[in-house]
Chains A and B, each alone.
Chain A
C-alpha cells in the first residue's frame, strides 16, 4: 500500500471558489480527507456532507445531570442531614422550601451543561494545551484554504481536476516521511 500515505493538497485563496471546488471534487467521488480554513466558511459542512453535531444533545443531558446533582445535594444538606429553622423557612420537605433552592438549581444546571459540553468539545476535537499544531501549511491560518484528498492511482488526472476548480497550488505530499 504505497499510495495510501500520499495525499494531494490543493490551495485556494477564496472561500466561494473553495465551496465550488468541494462540490466538484465530491461529484468526482474523490475522498476529501480534510479541509483547512482560516475562518468558518458558512455551509461548508453541508457541502462536504458532514454529519450534524450532537454536541447540543450532550449539553442537554449534562444539564439534566447538573439539575439532579443540585437537587440531591440541597435535599441532603438542607432537608435530611440537618433541617434547621433558618429565618422561619420551612425545611420539612424539599418542595416546601423549593423556591429558595431554584437559583442554585438553575446555576448548577447551566454550569454542568456549559462546562461539560466544552470539555466534550475539546475531547472530541482533540484540543489541549501543548498539543502539536496540525496545520499542513501555515498560510491556512491567515488567508488560504486547503483541501486535502487522498491520492489515487491516477494522480495526474486528480491534479488536472483540482487545477480546473481554481486551485492556485496543487502538490503531492507523502505523509509517510
Chain B
C-alpha cells in the first residue's frame, strides 16, 4: 500500500499556489484598454522602424490605404484585434496546459484498455500505476470544458473558440454553414457524452480491478468483466477521441479541417501517456514500492515510447506533407500561419518528439537504464506540450505568443493538481494487483 508522503503533498500544493499566482498575474496583465494597446503598438512600431525591412513593409502596406480617415480606422481595427489576442493569452495558456494533462490521462486510459483487451502478459504489475494516472481524466476533462466555454462567458471577446463569438459568426459565411455542428449547446452535449463514457469506463475498470484483488482464488468473473468493458471502451474511445479532437482542438481554426487530425492527436496523447507511466513507474520503483517491476518492464515501456514517437512523427509528417504538397490555399493557411509565427516551436517539436526519442531510445541497453528513460521522457513531455501549444496558440494569440509567466503558471497549476490527484489515487489501493490471472506471468516477465 502506498501512502502519499507529506513532502509530495506540500510540493504539489506549492506548485498549485505558484500556478495560481502566475495565472492571476496573466489575467491581470492581459486586460488592456484600446488606448493602451494603441500606445503599445506605436512603441513596438518605433522599435522596429530602425530595420530596413520593416520600413519597406510599412511603405508597402501604407500605400494603398490612401486617405487619413481610412488609415485611422484601420489602426483602430488592428488595435482591437491585438487587444483581443492579448486578452486570449492567459485563457489559451491555461487551455493548452489543461489539454496537456487531460490528454496524458486519456492516453493512459486508452493504453490500459489495450493492455486489458489484448490480455498482455507483461503489464499487469503496472495496472495500478495506469489506473492512478487515468484518475485525473474526469477532473482534467471537466477543466478543459470549463475553460473552453468559460472563455466565452467570462470577459469580453476573449473566447478560445472564435465560433462561440456571435459577432464573428455573423460576418462569417463559412462558420455559419458549420453552426449546425459548431454551437455551444451541441459542443456541451458532445463533451458530456465523451466525458461520461470515458469516466464510466475508468470507474468500472478500477472497480473490477480492485474487486478481482479481493476475489476468491479461482474466481475470474471480475477479470472477464474488465476484459469485456475494455473491448467496448476501445470502440467507444476511437469514435469519441476523433470527435473530441475536432471539437476541442481542431475547431480553434474553424475554417480549417484535416481528416487524419484525430489520429494525430491520438498519437500525441498515447506517447505522452506511456511516457508518464514509465516515469511514474521508475519513480515508484526507485522508492522500492514496485518490487515486482524489473528492467524488462521498463524496457517494454521505453519501446512503446520509442515506437509511438515514430508513429507521432509519421502522422505529423503525413498531415504536413499532404497539405504542403497540394498547397490548396484553404488548407495551407494552417501551416503557413504556424511557419510564419511559430517557426522554432513548430520545427523544434519535431526534434523533441522524433529525433531525440529516436536516437536516445534506439539502443536496446539504454532502454533498461532508468535515468536514460527518464531523460527521454522529459524530452517527449516537453515536445508534447509544444505540440499542443502549436495547435492552439496560433489560432488565438497569433503572433503575440511567448512562453512566459501565464504559460508556466498554467503548467504549474495543472501539473500540481495532476500530481495531487494521481498520487492520492495511487494511495487508495495496493500497488500490485493480486488476483489478475496474468500477474504471475507479469512478475516473471523477462525480455
Q: Which residues of A contact B (CB under 8 A)?
A: 56, 60, 88, 99-100, 102
Pairwise interchain contact B327-A102, C-beta atoms closer than 8 A:
no
Query: In the complex, how many angstroms separate the beta carbon of B441 from the nearest chain A beta carbon?
Result: 15
Pairwise interchain contact A99-B364, C-beta atoms closer than 8 A:
no
CA distance A60 to B325 in the complex (A): 30
Going nearest first, the 4 A-B pairs with the smallest beta carbon separation are A99-B321, A99-B324, A100-B325, A102-B317
CA distance A102 to B364 in the complex (A): 26
Pairwise interchain contact B320-A99, C-beta atoms closer than 8 A:
yes
CA distance A56 to B364 in the complex (A): 10
Q: Which residues of A contact B362 (CB under 8 A)?
A: 60
CA distance A99 to B320 in the complex (A): 8
Please encode chain B, from 306 to 334, with 1 for each CB lying within 8 Å of some chain A CB and 0 for all others: 00000000000100110011010000000
Q: A88-B327, A100-B321 are in contact. List 8 more A-B contacts (CB 8 A).
A: A56-B364, A99-B317, A99-B320, A99-B321, A99-B325, A100-B325, A102-B317, A102-B321
Q: Which residues of A contact B321 (CB under 8 A)?
A: 99-100, 102
Query: In the complex, how many angstroms separate the beta carbon of B107 from the nearest chain A beta carbon?
Result: 26
CA distance A13 to B320 in the complex (A): 58
CA distance A100 to B317 in the complex (A): 11
CA distance A99 to B339 in the complex (A): 14
CA distance A153 to B396 in the complex (A): 85
Q: Which residues of A contact B364 (CB under 8 A)?
A: 56
Query: In the complex, how many angstroms separate the beta carbon of A113 from the nearest chain B beta carbon?
Result: 12
Q: Which residue of A lies closest to B327 (CB)?
A: A88
- 12 A-B residue pairs with Cβ-Cβ distance under 8 Å, sorted by A, are A56-B364, A60-B362, A88-B327, A99-B317, A99-B320, A99-B321, A99-B324, A99-B325, A100-B321, A100-B325, A102-B317, A102-B321
Q: Which residues of A contact B317 (CB under 8 A)?
A: 99, 102
CA distance A99 to B317 in the complex (A): 8
CA distance A102 to B320 in the complex (A): 12
Q: Which residues of A contact B320 (CB under 8 A)?
A: 99
Q: Which residues of A contact B325 (CB under 8 A)?
A: 99-100
CA distance A100 to B324 in the complex (A): 9
CA distance A88 to B324 in the complex (A): 12
